[in-house]
Amino acid sequence: MELSAEGKTPEYMALAGIKFKLSLPHLKNDPQLKEQLLQGIKNGNMAPYYKEVCTDLGWPMDQKLYDQMTKENQDRLANFKEDDSETPVWQDRLDYLCSIGDKEAATALATSKYEDATLTTNRRLDGIFAMFRIAYFHGCNVKEMGKAINKAHELVDKGGDWRSRNKLKAYEAIYCLAVRDYSKAADLFIDCVSTFESYELVDFGTIIQYCVLACALALERHALQSALRRQGAAVQALRSRFPELRELVESLHECRYADFLKSLAWVETQICVDPVFRPHYQHYVREARIKAYVQLLRAYRSLSLDNIADTFGVTREFVEEEISTFTAAGRLQCRIDAVAGCVVTGAGRGADADRSQLYQATIREGDLLLNRVKKLASVINF
């Protein structure tokens, strides 16, 4: 897909991100964001959304403005009449309800169309995708997004066409990011980037950013570059629009760990104000640092703390504290020799280290399983 062939995402979808930023303590009084949100609401005559924003953000409501926009909404909705044409008017009505932020009415209409067994599978899927967008737009409600994905899978398995299956990949990939399933998100993004057409949800640039962030954490070093290279549009976007993300991927692949941490610091500033990533941004940054440590340490039996500190461009004290924390949590298979001032992997090289980590995970999960079996046995009368 060429960047010049991008579709257009509805302007109102960007307002959800602005509203989310204004809900954060350090941005709640940002005059530029306030002006952008209010102007977007006025341009779209979004009366229901204006009321929601005033309630959620504690803004004083301009009753005259609200009444004017409400009248405009009522006039527009009165012009929608159901017919039996191939492109049903209810779809246009649903799109309009979504565009003005009328959550209740849009949800009710989308749900009714999903439950209408007389409609084709693809039409019912359009209703489900609308339910996902509503949950995504109004506070990124992960629970409702998950319900929509489950319903979509049920219908797609019964006979959805290629277009619906392709759209579902993009929707599900974003949901997977919201629940920290980076591996599945990476696979789905890689599959749908070249054929992406879900512009009603997010723009192509956002998909590229999410794809790179998911792949950077989920894929191994050798697979990361090859996966992205197969996506011509992704490579083009990284070069022209997202140089920071390009540096994140390349620095990790080329083992330039000091540059990787600098890029990761920039990424943190971006994802901490993203409604999908916000609940997990600290977890994401921590996992990315762990991945860098694992990638470095798996090549050595031991490595001095000073060497690691120089490689990452940080102090020895920082490295020692962080590796101690990750080791105690079972995330790094190594130990610190305080006398020698080095990190000892103990398990040898890569395959052995991975085997050791798998062994420890199996022991932990086995203990959990045995405890659950004992609890179950105590309540079952054999």
**pLDDT tens sequence across 158-182:** 877 888 899 999 999 999 999 999 9
pLDDT greater than 80 at residue 134: yes
| CA distance linking residue 47 with residue 53, whole number of Å | 10
Contact 354, 321 (CB under 8 A): no
Give the pLDDT score at 87.
59
> Which of 361, 255, 347 is closest to 300 using CA atoms?
347
When pLDDT is cut at 50, 70 and 90, the band that residue 305 belongs to is very high
Across the strands, what pairs with 240? none
| CA distance linking residue 294 with residue 225, whole number of Å | 18
HSE (CB half, 13 Å, CA atoms) of 244? 12
When pLDDT is cut at 50, 70 and 90, the band that residue 349 belongs to is very low
Structure-token pair, residue 300: 């050595």
Give the pLDDT score at 183.
93
| CA distance linking residue 209 with residue 203, whole number of Å | 10
Instruction: Tell me the average pLDDT across 321-338.
Output: 90
Rounded to whole angstroms, what are the CA distances from 186 to 55, 177, 216, 268, 314? Answer: 36, 9, 9, 19, 30
Across the strands, what pairs with 303? 343
Give percent of the chain with pLDDT exceeding 70: 92
Contact 73, 97 (CB under 8 A): no
Residue 274 sits at φ, ψ, to 5 deg, of -100, 130
337 three-class SS: strand
| CA distance linking residue 210 with residue 198, whole number of Å | 14
Give the pLDDT score at 60.
94
Rounded to whole angstroms, what are the CA distances from 37 to 17, 140, 230? Answer: 9, 17, 38
Rounded to whole angstroms, what are the CA distances from 117 to 108, 227, 303? Answer: 16, 40, 64
Residue indicated by tokens 């399983």: 369
Distance of CA 57 to the CA centre of its chain: 24
Neighbours of 102 (CB within 10 A): 22
Instruction: Tell me the average pLDDT across 255-268.
Output: 94
Contact 311, 260 (CB under 8 A): no
pTM for this entry: 0.85
When pLDDT is cut at 50, 70 and 90, the band that residue 83 belongs to is low
When pLDDT is cut at 50, 70 and 90, the band that residue 2 belongs to is very low
Most confident of 102-106, 114-118, 340-344: 102-106
Give the pLDDT score at 4.
41
238-241: long-range contacts at Cβ-Cβ below 8 A with a sequence spacing of 24 or more?
A: 238/208, 238/212, 240/3, 241/3, 241/205, 241/208
Instruction: Tell me the average pLDDT across 279-290.
Output: 95
336 three-class SS: strand
100 three-class SS: coil
- Nearest-Å Rg of the Cα atoms of the chain is 25
pLDDT greater than 60 at residue 133: yes
Contact 1, 234 (CB under 8 A): no
Give the pLDDT score at 209.
92
pLDDT greater than 50 at residue 140: yes
Distance of CA 255 to the CA centre of its chain: 26
11 three-class SS: coil
| CA distance linking residue 124 with residue 118, whole number of Å | 9
Give percent of the chain with pLDDT exceeding 90: 62
pLDDT greater than 70 at residue 152: yes
Instruction: Tell me the average pLDDT across 20-48.
Output: 94
Rounded to whole angstroms, what are the CA distances from 193 to 17, 109, 218? Answer: 22, 30, 17
| CA distance linking residue 144 with residue 150, whole number of Å | 10
DSSP state at residue 346: S
